[in-house]
Every structure is written in structure tokens, then in C-alpha cells.
A = this chain, B = another copy of it.
Amino acid sequence: MNIQEIYFEDYEIGHFRETFGRTITETDFVVHAGHTGDFFPHHMDKEWCKTQEFGQRVAHGTMVFAIGIGLSASEINPVAFSYGYDRLRFVKPVHIGDTIRTRLTIDRKHPDPKREGMGQVFEKVEVLNQNDETVLATEHIYLVEMRKA
């Protein structure tokens, strides 16, 4: 982890980075169920899953999101604040043994209409599996300080 100040003006549209991969294990399924309290059979009952569309356990959407975002937590920008996420979509299921990584691309930015001296930066987030398929997509919105004039 490093600290690096990146101001609104410094964000370059199209700049992207990609994280290391992480294999999603049965352990992650069990930990996430226990962490959130969601023990739905879709995630926890391999016999029941055999009778369903995918034939096997499917990762919690909240887990793919939390781990996908967590993979990108490597640099602290003290002048940027997470405002929220838009259009979070679970594009494909993640199964036990899949390996995911996250690609983050600065998509667009504009001055914040309500907060003087701040801008909004939109980062496209794509979580990919080992076959380079997008499994989750969303847009991360940051509020970022502008350089003092």
C-alpha cells in the first residue's frame, strides 16, 4: 500500500490498471455466508444446486463485489472519497475454483455541480474470470479535490 495524492485534474481518461488474480475457493463461499448470514441453498447446498440451472453452487453477488473491489485496494489517495457505485450488474455466475481479477478504467469526469472545488471521477470496474469473461460490472464514483487555484 502506498499513499499518493491524485487531484481531479490528474485523472486521465482511459487510464486503466488490472489487479492480480485470486482463486475463489469453497472457503470463500463459507466465509461469506457466515459473514453476511446469507445461507441460501444457491451458495451452500451442492445437492440442491445439482437440480438447478447451473448445476453447482454460485457465489453470492455481494462476495464477487466485495472481493472484486478489495483486489483493487492497493493505493490510498487522500484527496479522493468514495461516493458510491452505479449500475452494479452480476453478468455471469462465479463458481468454486474460478479465478477473478479486476480491471479499472477511468471513464469520464466532470466538476461536481454542488460541491465547489470538487470533481466527480467515474471509474469503470470490470471483474473478469480466468476465461476473460466479465462476471461483474459497475461504475465507481469518486469525489476528488481540485488543485487549489
Contacts and interface: CB of A to CB of B under 8 A. Distances in A.
Interface of A: 1-2, 19-23, 25-41, 44-48, 57, 60-63, 65-67, 69-71, 73-74, 76, 82-90, 97, 99, 130
A24 to B, nearest CB: 10
Copies in the complex: 6
A41 B63 contact: no
A65 B62 contact: yes
B1 A40 contact: yes
B62 A66 contact: yes
A30 B33 contact: no
15 contacts: A1-B74, A22-B41, A25-B27, A26-B26, A31-B31, A31-B34, A31-B35, A37-B70, A37-B73, A41-B76, A45-B99, A46-B97, A63-B66, A82-B90, A86-B88
